[in-house]
Amino acid sequence: MRSLKKTRRIQIIVLAFVSLATATGLIGYAMRDGINFFRSPSQVIAEPPSPSEVFRIGGLVAEGSIVRGQGEQVQFSVTDGGASIPVTFTGILPDLFEE
């Protein structure tokens, strides 16, 4: 027969594990739509996204490709050394943006 302390300790460990697993599952479920992965231009060309898909493109701004439009609209090309993708961005450019 197990002692009361040992039984209580096992109950606390199991409860902590179940709570941790539940919290991890809930966080993952809540963030499923908010997670945007970076894709390289080569990946975008190989597997084009659906029109409604939101994603981030990672790479370098191609030299000489920046064209400023009206207002906050900027057009440029993003390259990863292998492929280049034209991008139209509307809004304030991020601090890391440079040619």
| Domain map (residue ranges) of the chain | 4-90
44 neighbors 82 (Cβ within 8 angstroms): no
Q: What angle do CA 90, 36, 75 make, to 5 degrees?
A: 25
The answer to whether the pTM exceeds 0.85 is no
List pLDDT tens digits, range 82-98.
Answer: 899 999 999 988 888 87
List pLDDT tens digits, range 22-58.
Answer: 999 999 888 877 777 789 999 999 999 888 887 888 8
